[in-house]
A and B are shown apart, each in its own frame.
Chain A
Amino acid sequence: MASWSELPLKYRLLIGFYRWRTLTSTPWAKLAVPLREARVALVTSAGLYRPGIDRDFGGGDGGDITMRLLPSDTPLGSLVVGQSSDAFDRTDVERDMNLALPLDRLRELQALGEVGSVAPRVVSFNGSMLAPGRFVRDTAPQVVEALRADLVHAALFVPV
């Protein structure tokens, strides 16, 4: 388990006062097909992007609420971590992007017949945001639209 004690002091102070969100109700959708037939999408909060192609993620008050859609055949080694937070050590993620975006692993499970297919695009956003209201209101519908357009059956979410 990650522990707050890993974090720099400024974050530990902040976390003591932070109002963690609670969903008023928990939505529930059922998987429409067996996993071995399902098209599965990955969503990462590492703010991964393709330099020279995608816009970098910024910081600013409340964080950068935008998202990037990356083709799933993008070489993992060509991606850059755009996460604005210095609350985690990114050395290992940069060494192996599967820690934030396990595309190689998902493809292996597809090859083994455990999942149907890998969605053609992954969703990438910068999860470092204190005030997520605008993100939920403005960005989440874009994510839903992209996942629907890609006809995915399920989505897996990976934080950093």
Chain B
Amino acid sequence: MCTQSVGLLAAEVEKAGIPTACIALVRSVAETLRAPRMLAVPFRFGHALGQPNDADGQRAVLRALLGLLASPGPGPVLVDYGPR
């Protein structure tokens, strides 16, 4: 449900001219929604950035998310976060 909620909000923000990138916990929801930029991560609910107290791992996810902002577009851009 959260993956849909963030994507819907992101679309409104994007419409206002501010580029957005969302983490998606459920790939099928992201595929259906078609929000501008989504990063599908292989983590459980409540773990969008990975594991607790794993700064390196979390930073890698955040970097990948920021990287989507450089996509030339047009969207939807849906990228799978690779294993690390």
Using CB atoms and an 8 Å cutoff, list the residues of chain A in contact with chain B.
1-4, 6-7, 20-23, 26-31, 35, 38, 40, 43, 45, 85, 87-90, 92-93, 95-96, 98-100, 102, 104-106, 108-109, 114-115, 125, 127-130, 132, 135-136, 139-141, 143-144, 147-148, 152-160
**Complex Cα distance A28/B63, Å?**
20
Q: Are A92's CB and B74's CB within 8 A?
A: no
Q: Which of A20, A106, A156 contacts B29 (CB 8 A)?
A: A20
Residues of B within 8 A of A135 (CB): 5, 8-9
The count of residues in chain B whose C-beta lies closer than 8 Å to any C-beta of chain A is 62
A23-B34, A43-B6, A92-B52 known; A154 vs B20 contact (CB < 8 Å): yes
Q: Are B18's CB and A157's CB within 8 A?
A: no
For chain B, residues 1 to 48, give those with C-beta under 8 angstroms from any C-beta of chain A.
1-29, 32-36, 40-48
